[in-house]
Amino acid sequence: MYTPKFVLICLSSLFFSASYNMLIPELPSYLSSLGGAKYIGLIIALFTLTAGISRPFSGKLTDTIGRKPVMIFGALVCLVCGGFYPILTTVYGFLLLRLCHGFSTGFTPTAASTFVSDVVPRERLGEAMGIQGIAFSTGLALGPALGSFIKLHFSYSILFYSSSAMAFLALLLIVNLKETLPARQRFHLGLLKISRNDIIALEALPPAIITFLSYVGFGVVLTLIPDWTESVGFVNKGVFFIVFTISSLLVRFIAGRLSDRYGRIKVIAVGLALLFIALVLIGFLNTRSGLLIGASIYGLAMGVISPAINAWTIDLSLPEQKGKAMATMYIALEAGIGFGALCSGWYYQETISRIPLIMYCCAGLAFTGIGYIVMVKRNITTKY
């Protein structure tokens, strides 16, 4: 399983993830400094809007022109947008960049996950998705911590240029990959014509629904946790993400292997139960130690859920439409993150006391997911 292709895609996932995640802790205060505090909920919502809109295109292109070109395009978007943040210094210029920046995650992760499924044995797919998730989550952890460090010691401009540098490293690694799609088409504008059949892979709907219910809370975390972290006494707003990701890293490898052995549904159900507990604790324990406990359990939950959902999506996909299936799952992911970010930002309005109720609502969605997956298990008799 540990071929050069697999190692390179994991490393590129790390740098790509770090590129855009290193901005997240500092963007709310940056937007406020521009006079756009009331638009904080749009920081994540706009990003996920274009990411979600672009998923049908990235899925179709992944299955036609190849995995590599789609990954390259997403990394280029990250590189270019990072360089424009210091230039477009108005509220609307910033929001426009967030809208454009979302195309990066709309393209690269779809093709990267499909690429992984091409280069690893089927019986180790869950394990492979877990390892790639470890790489991606390492970027998720190091990015915010590094971003806050750069902002504290340098400036916003250096932070944005550092984001571009991370995207450039990801791009270099992707360029050195060998394409895995056997029968590639040349790109032409006709491929950008999307029909209803290109948008959703119906066979991938069960994991997509679980993804949506799981990631509404993640949109809330991305939007509100920086302020929540500061309110309980931490200076570095990335500390939650560090603990969350370390916890996630510890379990991803094991969770992926367990999903290969015992089935995706059982593992996902355990992850949803952990997610429910974590979100309740984050809202209830409004202290520094409480935040760290909540972050630890939240990391365990997402570390269990993510690789199992990715592998389950590939399991249910048609062989020639793996990109479309992954795009369907990612559409649900972006919809969940965007919905959580937009609704929480609208209700929050910089009132810290409102955060616990928002967390409890997200916990309710996780509990709903448990009920749904129990219902799905009754209708699916295969191992996966």
Q: At a CB cut-off of 8 Å and minimum separation 6, what does 352 contact?
A: 227, 228, 231
Supply 49's token pair: 């809007």
State the Cα torsion 189-98-172-188 to the nearest 10°: 0
Burial (CB count within 10 angstroms: exposed 0-12, middle 13-18, buried 19+), residue 106: buried
Residues 21-32 have a mean pLDDT of 86
User: Does residue 379 carry a pLDDT above 70?
Assistant: no
In a domain, 370, yes or no: yes
- Give the pLDDT band (50/70/90) at residue 357: very high
pLDDT per position as a tens digit, 172-194: 999 989 988 888 888 888 888 87
In a domain, 190, yes or no: no
In a domain, 184, yes or no: no
Distance of CA 282 to the CA centre of its chain: 20
How much is the pTM? 0.75
- Give the pLDDT band (50/70/90) at residue 286: confident
Angle of helix 322-348 relative to helix 288-316, nearest 10 degrees?
Answer: 150
Window from 102-106, 282-286, 319-323, 375-379 with minimum mean pLDDT: 375-379
**Contact (CB, 8 A) for 171 and 268:** no
Confidence (pLDDT) at 384 = 52
Residue type, position 330, single letter = Y
User: Does residue 281 carry a pLDDT above 90?
Assistant: yes
In a domain, 10, yes or no: yes
CA-based end-to-end distance of the chain:
20
Task: Name which residue leads in pLDDT, 256 or 168.
Answer: 168
pLDDT per position as a tens digit, 66-93: 999 999 999 999 999 999 999 988 999 9
Residues 97-108 have a mean pLDDT of 90
Please name which of 307, 329, 308 lies closest in space to residue 317, comparing C-alpha atoms.
Answer: 329
In a domain, 187, yes or no: no
User: Does residue 383 carry a pLDDT above 60?
Assistant: no
In a domain, 102, yes or no: yes
**Contact (CB, 8 A) for 173 and 68:** no
**Contact (CB, 8 A) for 252 and 133:** yes
User: Does residue 137 carry a pLDDT above 80?
Assistant: no
> Locate tokens 């108005």: which residue?
90
User: Does residue 315 carry a pLDDT above 70?
Assistant: yes
**Contact (CB, 8 A) for 12 and 67:** no
- Give the pLDDT band (50/70/90) at residue 274: very high
Extended strands (E) in the chain? none
| Coil, helix or strand at residue 318 | coil
Residues 185-209 have a mean pLDDT of 84
Window from 211-215, 308-312, 344-348, 370-374 with minimum mean pLDDT: 344-348
User: Does residue 163 carry a pLDDT above 80?
Assistant: yes
In a domain, 296, yes or no: yes
Confidence (pLDDT) at 380 = 61
- Mean pLDDT for the chain? 86
User: Does residue 382 carry a pLDDT above 60?
Assistant: no
How long, in residues, is the chain?
384
Looking at the structure of the chain, the number of domains it has is 1
Residues 104-123 have a mean pLDDT of 87
User: Which domain CATH number covers 229?
Assistant: 1.20.1250.20
pLDDT per position as a tens digit, 213-243: 999 998 888 888 888 888 888 877 778 888 8
| Coil, helix or strand at residue 317 | coil
DSSP string, 258-282: HHHHH-HHHHHHHHHHHHHHHHHHH
Confidence (pLDDT) at 77 = 94
Please name which of 264, 347, 334 lies closest in space to residue 306, comparing C-alpha atoms.
Answer: 264
**Contact (CB, 8 A) for 320 and 63:** yes
Instruction: State which of 199-203, 225-229, 279-283 shows the largest mean pLDDT.
Output: 279-283
DSSP string, 82-125: HHHTTT--SHHHHHHHHHHHHHHHHHHHHHHHHHHHHHS-GGGH
Q: What's the domain range around 285?
A: 4-178+197-379
